[in-house]
Structure 1
Amino acid sequence: MPKQLLPYRDTGYFSKLMCDYLAKEETTIPFYNRFPSLESFEEQLEEKRASFSQESRATLVAQLKKQYGSLAVSESTEANIEAFGNDNTFTITTGHQLNLFTGPLYFLYKIVSAINLSEQLKEAHPKDHFVPVYWMATEDHDFDEINYFNLNGKKVAWERESGGAVGELSTEGLEDVREVLQNALGSSKNAKELVTLFTEGYEKHSNLADATRYIANELFKEYGLVIIDGNDPELKKAFIPYAEKELFENRSYKKVTETTSRLVTAGYKEQVHPREINLFYIKQGIRERIVAQEGQFYVNDTDISFTSDGINEELKNHPERFSPNALLRPLFQEAILPNLCYIGGGGEMAYWFQLKDYFESVEVPFPILLLRNSVVLVPQRLSDKLMKLEVDISRLFQKQEKLKTEYAHQLSEIKIDFSEQRDHLQKQFENLYTLAEQTDASFLGAVGAQEKKQLKGLDRLEKRLLKAQKRKLADRLERLTMIQDQLFPKQSLQERTMNFSEFYLEYGYGLISELKKELDPLAHEFTILYL
């Protein structure tokens, strides 16, 4: 497939922090460990190798085998799980919520980025082994963020009561969503594959975590992807020392607050505001914040409370009941995985930039941070239309009104620009100012007022001419904006709104293999991919 790369800064969709990071601006350097380039991984490898114990590796292998249970896995995935027992095996990790039927398109791009980087590292470091990992955010509790996906411009939602960690939610009721999906997709071969994937995932697995693992495994198992659920009693044991520091020292609050202050001073925004305790308590369908008051620990909006000794005993006996929030999840992840690099979107990267000092304070290696691949998929029929309209797709990243104005200027046989008239007018007024200086100040003011009035008049005339030309060119302008609406739904990036099923319906599994072939995780540019 042909592709086109565009600097992230030129898209207008990425934050100053991300653009400055990719440009290696000095203001960003204090907030990350190593820049994501192939050369950076050699030192990262040795740092992680020295800090990750054989005991942690053995626990990881055992728990992954339990989590996969009877799920059919590929030979490459099975081999990758076994390989975690070896001290030359490392992970490249991305994470995502348990969005219904994978949610937005960038779910695919995150995982493809991890797979491709793992393969690039294997080629560069043949003595070591690299495993792509998808970390399921099973402990999240924001059900309204994950209970839907968009299909053909409409929201397909799973309506039900929710509470506690979303990974534990029963999949009951999803047969209704499957019927909606089936009716919308039709009866083609690819449509049947999608409906089967949905049915096997959600109707043959009892909870959302198992269903999501099945679907991600089916889509990526041939590439050796390993899927992990951090909501695991044995894995949580490794987190106990860090949770103690959180409960009794407020370690993350102090360190993250200091770092965030420096980040804001450097001209960047705070992504996540740290709390004094960045832990939730999970039990029997609840997931609520832990707060401390006068030596007592309380679970917010419940009757549950602990003394200092009581909560310490609870942590030791039931570590699975303590759940890190968005700021602590990265530390938990790095504590239980032999990870070298975390791959995420701009928002995720932004809160990782608040964490480096905290990681150093608890002596956990800070991973390399990589902005995931971002992509706009352009079907042939739309690229053909753009070619006929003589518009490069890079122009479609603009706001729609600006796009229409620019295109009207391109099409108009009349020059919609009164710059020459403005220059001519201002030269005439220069002579008047010379004359005015020979009289009094009141006449000078009158000349200035008249100049301002005349220039405003030219502005109004130019706007009226533009408006008239837009009416005259309405047909072609409408054709262009319709294409933009299809490629940038709701004036947003395609990857943030559309679901993979719309493209799978036309291209089948070839969609994923083409993404795998075309996306370079270390290109550090936006990808326009022509299908």
Structure 2
Amino acid sequence: MQDLAARLGLPSGEEALRARLGRRGHPGLLPAFSAYLRRLGAPSSVLEALRRLEVGAVVAGQQAGLLGGPALTFYKAHTALSLAEGVGAAGVFWIASQDHDVEEVRHLHLLREERLETLSLPLPPLPAGRLPLAPHREALRAFLGPWAEEERVAWALEAGTLSEFFARVLLAFLGERGLLPFDPMAPELAPLFLPALERELEDPLGSAQAINREAERLRALGEKPALMRKPGATNLFLETDARRLLHYQGGVFTDGVRTYTRKALWELAQADPSRLTPAAGLRPVFQDLVLPTAGFVVGPNELRYVAELSEVYALYGLSMPALFQRLRALVLEPPVARILGKYGLDPWAFLEEGEEAFLRAVGGRLQAFARFEERLRRLLSEAEALAEEAGALDPTLKRPLLRFRARLGGEGERLLRKALRARLQGDGVLWAHLERLKRHLLPLGLPQERVFPFLQYALRHPVALKRLEEAPALGRALLYL
């Protein structure tokens, strides 16, 4: 990511992080943040970590998924905590409670006794901070089974809303490390955004135009912008019976259903600031207007849209924080580690190529296929030598013979893979090993970290949290349990 950030002119790395320490957030941040955390019942280690906000914050964020959401949530939190610890700052986790895309948060996938089980809650399209947990509490308890009785999980399940459930999970499992969950819709914290909302209402198209200007610069660098704003679109959502994007034209705002004056929206925001919320083009800037953000932990997709916000930061008189790509991790439980070791299979190769990587590893260990592959390689080598000889006799023959060699190689590889797949399906042990690897490492055809919650491992293996804490802040890590 550092190469991409440098090419786009974005700050990244430890030097940029240290240079941004000492920023000041909203003057009312500490008392409001403390009140929020105390209401949730945060442990003393979290309340003590609040003091480190005076040095600065390293912030990560994610939607408020069930049971902590997919494991990448914990990897983001770990990166933020590790980077913050290195410079004496606080690790903060922004809960995207304003997001109303419930499809992102309503599913919970668990692997139990080698079966993938899924709970899907019937959530209405409202921000997670508005969704009460009570109607779904018993369904969650039944799905979790004995885990629902575990002390930390049982405490988290007492939360009032989906976003509070998420915050309590973070506090229960990462609170000892001092992680500070931050919910922008919490009644204690939402008023901190009033100055930013007032400024955005005064110039409702300014941030959108800044995004579009930066998008043109990125396009000139060969990048595909992610946040281009349509004419008249602002960067504010209004929540009434639904959450809708506001548009502005001729001095009037509209959410597509009703029209509003600037004065009416400001009065609404003063009455309940949680009803007027930033779109993706403003969210990081609003975050950094309130928090003393020195570093921002992002995923690979997030970097693409944060890259479009340079001019929005400038519009608000802020310097962009140092950007870091979160840790990528892969949890390897003992049976899976044994299968990988048996075939000498690189787990990252399996994550990227799936069955093809397994076929390569298995094929090299099956004598008949090893002979077949060796003979194919010799045949291809002969075909290449023949092309060279033919070219010496007649240059016009070399290219057709090289094309023949390429076709021969492609067809040979296809036949080899076909034969290997047939062998796999006929060999119960090999097939079972492949299927087990897919269930654990590529569930639903996706990387493990995007499907299973980290708590699946933390509740099954008490050492899992320690393995995560020992992992590097950046790059990749294999977590052996």
Q: TM-score range with shorter-chain normalisation?
A: 0.7 to 0.9
8 Å Cα contact 1:342-1:367 kept in structure 2:
yes
Q: 1:471 to 1:120 in 2, by over 3 A?
A: same
CA distance in 2, matches of 1:456, 1:41: 52
| Post-superposition offset of 1:351 | 1.2
The code of the aligned residue for 2:42 comes to: V
Segments of 5+ residues of structure 1 without an aligned counterpart are 1-17, 123-129, 438-443
* 1:81-230 aligned within 5 A: 81=50, 84=53, 88-122=54-88, 130-152=89-111, 153-160=116-123, 162-183=124-145, 187=146, 191=147, 193-194=149-150, 196-202=151-157, 204-230=158-184
| Post-superposition offset of 1:72 | 2.6
8 Å Cα contact 1:98-1:138 kept in structure 2:
yes
Q: 1:294 to 1:222 in 2, by over 3 A?
A: same
| Post-superposition offset of 1:119 | 1.4
State the partner residue of 2:480.
530
- Is 1:40–2:10 an aligned residue pair? no
State the partner residue of 1:60.
29
The answer to which of 479-488 and 331-340 deviates more is 479-488
* 1:374-413 aligned within 5 A: 374-411=328-365, 412-413=369-370
CA distance in 1, matches of 2:409, 2:13: 51
Segments of 5+ residues of structure 2 without an aligned counterpart are none
CA distance in 1, matches of 2:386, 2:144: 71
1:157-197 CA-to-partner distances (Å, cap 9, x unmatched) read: 2224x2432202211222332343244xxx4xxx3654x54
The answer to which of 163-172 and 336-345 deviates more is 163-172
8 Å Cα contact 1:150-1:498 kept in structure 2:
yes
Higher Cα Rg: structure 1 or 2?
1
State the partner residue of 2:378.
420
Higher relative contact order (CA 8 A, sep 6+): 1
Stretches of 4+ aligned residues off by more than 6 angstroms = 429-437, 447-455
Aligned partner (choices 318, 332, 337) of residue 286 of structure 2: 332
- Is 1:322–2:276 an aligned residue pair? yes
Q: 1:421 to 1:173 in 2, by over 3 A?
A: same
State the partner residue of 2:44.
75
8 Å Cα contact 2:98-2:128 kept in structure 1:
yes
8 Å Cα contact 2:354-2:442 kept in structure 1:
no
| Post-superposition offset of 1:317 | 5.9
Q: 1:483 to 1:277 in 2, by over 3 A?
A: same
| Post-superposition offset of 1:450 | 9.1
| Post-superposition offset of 1:278 | 0.9
CA distance in 1, matches of 2:479, 2:225: 33
8 Å Cα contact 1:404-1:477 kept in structure 2:
no
1:353-405 CA-to-partner distances (Å, cap 9, x unmatched) read: 11112201220121111111110011122222222223233331332343244
- Is 1:346–2:300 an aligned residue pair? yes
CA distance in 1, matches of 2:82, 2:316: 31
Aligned partner (choices 466, 471, 481) of residue 519 of structure 1: 471
CA distance in 2, matches of 1:431, 1:451: 11
State the partner residue of 1:255.
210
The code of the aligned residue for 1:519 comes to: A
8 Å Cα contact 1:135-1:229 kept in structure 2:
yes
8 Å Cα contact 2:467-2:479 kept in structure 1:
no
CA distance in 2, matches of 1:335, 1:193: 40
- Is 1:244–2:227 an aligned residue pair? no
Q: Secondary structure at the match of 1:363?
A: coil
Q: Secondary structure at the match of 1:289?
A: strand
8 Å Cα contact 1:246-1:278 kept in structure 2:
no
The code of the aligned residue for 1:375 comes to: A
Q: Secondary structure at the match of 1:114?
A: helix
Calculate the aligned-residue CA RMSD, in Å.
Answer: 3.1
The count of corresponding residues between Structure 1 and Structure 2 is: 465
| Post-superposition offset of 1:344 | 2.2
State the partner residue of 2:415.
464
Aligned partner (choices 499, 513, 516) of residue 453 of structure 2: 499
TM superposition score normalised by structure 2 = 0.86
8 Å Cα contact 2:380-2:408 kept in structure 1:
no
1:54-95 CA-to-partner distances (Å, cap 9, x unmatched) read: xx33x11222233234433322222233565xxx43211111
1:427-469 CA-to-partner distances (Å, cap 9, x unmatched) read: 55777788889xxxxxx89x99899679756754564355335
| Post-superposition offset of 1:324 | 0.3
The code of the aligned residue for 1:107 comes to: T
CA distance in 2, matches of 1:326, 1:251: 15
The code of the aligned residue for 2:382 comes to: H
CA distance in 2, matches of 1:344, 1:451: 45
State the partner residue of 2:317.
363
8 Å Cα contact 1:408-1:470 kept in structure 2:
no
CA distance in 2, matches of 1:224, 1:493: 28
Q: 1:406 to 1:205 in 2, by over 3 A?
A: closer
* 1:294-333 aligned within 5 A: 294-300=250-256, 302=257, 304-315=258-269, 319-333=273-287
CA distance in 1, matches of 2:412, 2:181: 62
CA distance in 1, matches of 2:271, 2:406: 77
The code of the aligned residue for 1:40 comes to: A
1:185-236 CA-to-partner distances (Å, cap 9, x unmatched) read: xx4xxx3654x5444333x333223333222211222222222221244212
CA distance in 2, matches of 1:165, 1:364: 27
State the partner residue of 2:224.
269
Q: Percent identity over the alignment?
A: 20
